[in-house]
Amino acid sequence: MNKTALLALCLSSHAAWASAGADEPTWQYTVQSGDTLWSFAAKHLTSPAYVPKLQQQNGIANPYRLTPGSRLRVPYSWTRHNESAVTIDALSGPVSIQGPDGQTLKASTGLHLVAGTRLSTGQDATLKLRLADGSTLQLGANSQLTLGKQVFYPTTGAIQSLNQLDRGSASNAVVPKQLMPNRYQIYTPSAVTTVRGTEFRVRSLNDKDTAAEVLRGKVNLAAGDDSMDIPAGFGGRSDGKQSAALPQPPQLEGMITTSPFNPPLLEWHKQHGEAGYQLTLSDAKTQQQLFSRSTDAARFYPELPQNGSYVLTVRARNELGIEGFDASRVFTLQASPLPPLVFNDGCRTSQRAQTLWIGSSASPERPGWLQVARDPAFTDIWHQGRVEQSAFALNVPNKGKWYWRLASLNEQGQPGPYGNTQEVRIDPWYRLGLPGDRKLQSRRYPLANARYTLQLARPDAPERIVWQQSAAEPAWSLLRLPSGHFIVTILVDGDGEYHAKERYSTVFLP
């Protein structure tokens, strides 16, 4: 089979591109009331000298009397046009640009690009181009595109745009034109996509296969002697023989909306027929794309640069490799500053009257925020306040169960995420028992089969680990730890290749 495929949009319109004679493509113009050949030429043609030729070509007896609704076949080379540039509308990540003369250009928004320019995107990058008519082409990550001829028809607002997608993917939004349809083509090593007024994606899978997914409009995919129509909501591949419905948007409703952990645990429910996913993650404020990934699992654990709001966009991929409609979810990361480490045995009771003892890594340089309550949900808070010392005592009004937790304060004096809730029972003096084994504790992660690794390093050699131990719970006996000042690092690993790293500046271990 001839692997060179043609994707052509079949849309009803007032005008269409067709062939007039040998190889001369033409614009078929629908005559409006009041039109004459002379008024048409004055508005749309490069010269009135084309009127006799236009009259002869269309078999018109009287150039001053045209029938409304009839068609004029107009070679588009006669139509007013000019070479136009493509403008960079937005970009993020590593993007390289090579001009037609081989010169390297600095990628920046607003930069005008001409035919022959080669564009390349790296890992997690994206590049959005805007054409003269407002149509857009967005180049995905790890893609390469060479700009071809760009022609603009000012009297109709239409364009002719020819581009070569050497590898990767391109999402396109072509603005429909009623008077003169756009002539928009993307070449890949295995296909040609010809589009007029639609929204679609083209992906060059390899040198012999191209995928096209149509969100709006209608596409005809031809490969050799085979041909198939692809309507909106369907996709096809140049090495296939039939189109398939695009997968529906993934169900992201159960995904978290706020995460105190970084990486956040972004997980959703995998539906029947979803073989994998293509996802992007962007900063909600700046719209900058941070990640672009393909995955088989219904989860994503990205390490994010800072607190803030982010947008996860996911589309499913079926077993045929066809990608579907997007679903998006906004979530907030509130993972820093890290909560203080806690020194506690988990079952210790008061040693004197009704005193609650708090041990932590809080200090004047890294103050904490303490909350004490009678219930584990902290709906009934009895005390809250700033803590700047590693050992803190608080007299509670009565005996029984008390709950406390610590967060670190940021530079603005606001608390970050809280650590684990600690439960303490204040007993009468006559029930006083021996102190338990005090432990260094960090916060738990909501992970299946979580594993916590404690690493200690001296402040004068922060990269040299002098002590390390892994555990199923984030707690290590102080009796077994070396004493002194250490830089503390806690590694967290779980199912699904989850990995987090919490690093604390100098902490004194008694």
Q: What is the pLDDT of residues 263-302, one digit of tens each?
A: 999 999 999 999 999 999 999 999 999 999 999 999 999 9
C-alpha span between 233 and 217 (Å, rounded): 9
Same domain? For 413 and 458 the reply is no
DSSP one-letter code for 261: S
Number of domains the chain contains: 4
Which of the two residues, 199 and 10, has the higher pLDDT score? 199
Same domain? For 358 and 265 the reply is no
- Edge-first strand listing for the sheet containing 451-457: 465-471, 451-457, 484-494, 498-509
Residue 484 lies in a domain: yes
**Residue 161 reports pLDDT greater than 90:** yes
The Cα-based distances of 86 to 92, 131, 154, 246, 445 in angstroms read: 17, 5, 15, 30, 48
Question: Which residues have a Cβ under 8 Å from the Cβ of 78 and sit 6 or more positions away?
Answer: 45, 46, 47, 50, 53, 54
Domain boundary among 274, 303, 333: 333
**Residue 10 reports pLDDT greater than 50:** no
* Helix/strand/coil percentages in the chain, nearest 5: 5, 50, 45
DSSP one-letter code for 77: G
**Residue 259 reports pLDDT greater than 60:** yes
- Average pLDDT, stretch 392-418? 93
Asked if residues 231 and 213 have their Cβ atoms less than 8 Å apart, the reply is no
C-alpha span between 454 and 469 (Å, rounded): 5
Residue 9 lies in a domain: no
Mean pLDDT of the chain: 89
Domain boundary among 333, 354, 369: 333
**Residue 16 reports pLDDT greater than 50:** no
**Residue 6 reports pLDDT greater than 50:** no
**CATH for 161:** 2.60.120.1440
Q: What is the DSSP string of 385-422?
A: EEE-SSEEEEE-SS-EEEEEEEEEE-TTS-EEEE-PPE
User: What is the per-residue pLDDT for 57?
Assistant: 92
Tokens 């995420």, residue?
417
Q: How many residues can be counted in the chain?
A: 510
Same domain? For 139 and 218 the reply is yes
Same domain? For 271 and 369 the reply is no
User: What is the per-residue pLDDT for 427?
Assistant: 75
Asked if residues 70 and 31 have their Cβ atoms less than 8 Å apart, the reply is yes
Q: With CA atoms as reference, report the closest residue to 156 among 196, 121, 205, 110.
A: 196
Same domain? For 503 and 475 the reply is yes
Q: With CA atoms as reference, report the closest residue to 203 among 216, 215, 213, 217.
A: 213
Confidence of residue 484 (pLDDT cuts 50, 70, 90): very high
Helix (H) or strand (E) holding 72: strand 71-75
Asked if residues 210 and 5 have their Cβ atoms less than 8 Å apart, the reply is yes
Reported as a single tens digit per residue, the pLDDT across 306-340 is: 999 999 999 999 999 999 999 999 999 999 999 99
CB-CB neighbours of 341 under 10 Å:
24
Same domain? For 213 and 152 the reply is yes
Tokens 């603009």, residue?
152
Question: Which residues have a Cβ under 8 Å from the Cβ of 217 and sit 6 or more positions away?
Answer: 9, 11, 195, 196, 197, 198, 199, 200, 232
Reported as a single tens digit per residue, the pLDDT across 47-105 is: 999 999 999 999 999 999 999 999 999 998 999 999 999 999 999 999 999 999 999 99
Give the range among 112-121, 235-244, 317-326 with minimum mean pLDDT: 235-244
Same domain? For 215 and 327 the reply is no
Same domain? For 141 and 172 the reply is yes
C-alpha span between 96 and 92 (Å, rounded): 11
Same domain? For 217 and 281 the reply is no
Residue 240 lies in a domain: yes
Same domain? For 186 and 143 the reply is yes
C-alpha span between 314 and 326 (Å, rounded): 6
Residue 363 lies in a domain: yes
Domain boundary among 436, 459, 491: 436
Residue 21 lies in a domain: no
Asked if residues 191 and 7 have their Cβ atoms less than 8 Å apart, the reply is yes
Asked if residues 399 and 354 have their Cβ atoms less than 8 Å apart, the reply is yes
List phi, psi (to 5°) of 216: -145, 145
Same domain? For 299 and 432 the reply is no
**CATH for 386:** 2.60.40.10
Give the range among 16-20, 79-83, 92-96, 419-423 with minimum mean pLDDT: 16-20
Confidence of residue 176 (pLDDT cuts 50, 70, 90): confident
Same domain? For 237 and 155 the reply is yes
Give the SS3 label for residue 252.
Answer: coil
- Average pLDDT, stretch 257-262? 98
Question: Whole domain around residue 393: which residue ranges?
Answer: 342-436
Residue 69 lies in a domain: no
Residue 73 lies in a domain: no
Residue 483 lies in a domain: yes
